[in-house]
A and B are shown apart, each in its own frame.
Chain A
């Protein structure tokens, strides 16, 4: 079966712009979580969605937001980009939640210049 698909793979944006990242989970998976990966901070939890509802949120500013659609696809939006937002953004899906095992997508590499 198809894995977790993230688009785009690479993105270059300018400070102050906004960006939207997309994630299509494995078919049948209803839980989608987003993580930010940087060399210095490792994998930091952004938020989790389940059946179109945000169930949990990490310690990121309000510039980071997301949503989930009825087909479980999820989008993440970052507004007013800062240089420090440059990172690999990973999406992971699970049947029901974090304690059922996550499958990660290949990520979107965001560079803010």
Chain B
């Protein structure tokens, strides 16, 4: 099955600096790569996603890049702020269509705890 590895497990940056979180996936059939932010005691929230036919996507201070050949994707946060402090999860989705139906599954990385210090 799909395996998603995420690095680093913890990341501390100063306010205003950039943060980069990297993930690799194993199954070349994966076609959708979302990133979730989970603040302490709260539910994971989708912050950005990218599909396999796109190499890069930006949304204000966050961006995601995808390298299908190398099977890795990264989250970039610029001009970090204290409210960016949270655990970030990458994920990869496979959507297969076996005979008689369609199966989808989102496999998550192990998470990166980002701490933005003043």
Instruction: Point out residues on A near B: beta carbons under 8 Å.
Output: 31, 33, 35, 42-43, 45, 48, 50, 53, 55-56, 58, 90, 92, 97-107
Give bound CA distance, A48 to B45, whole Å: 19
Contact A97 to B95, CB < 8 A, known contacts A48-B103, A48-B104, A56-B103: yes
A98 contact from B36, B101, B106, Cβ within 8 A: B106
- The B interface, classified by DSSP as helix, strand, loop or mixed, is strand
Give bound CA distance, A98 to B93, whole Å: 6
Give bound CA distance, A101 to B51, whole Å: 11
Total number of A-B contacts with CB less than 8 angstroms? 64
Q: Give chain A nearest CB distance to B86 CB in angstroms.
A: 14
Contact A33 to B106, CB < 8 A, known contacts A98-B32, A99-B93, A101-B49: yes
Give bound CA distance, A53 to B102, whole Å: 10
- List the A side residues contacting B94 at CB < 8 Å: 98
Contact A42 to B89, CB < 8 A, known contacts A56-B105, A101-B49, A103-B46: yes
Whether B46 contacts A55 by the Cβ 8 Å rule is no
A106 contact from B43, B101, B105, Cβ within 8 A: B43
Whether A55 contacts B102 by the Cβ 8 Å rule is yes
- List the B side residues contacting A92 at CB < 8 Å: 106
Q: Give chain B nearest CB distance to A49 CB in angstroms.
A: 11
Contact A90 to B43, CB < 8 A, known contacts A55-B101, A97-B95, A98-B93: yes
Chosen A-B contacts, 30 in total, with CB atoms closer than 8 Å, are A31-B104, A33-B105, A43-B44, A43-B89, A43-B108, A45-B107, A53-B101, A55-B101, A55-B104, A56-B103, A56-B104, A90-B43, A97-B93, A97-B95, A97-B102, A97-B104, A98-B32, A98-B93, A98-B106, A99-B31, A99-B104, A101-B34, A102-B106, A103-B46, A104-B36, A104-B43, A104-B45, A106-B42, A106-B43, A107-B43
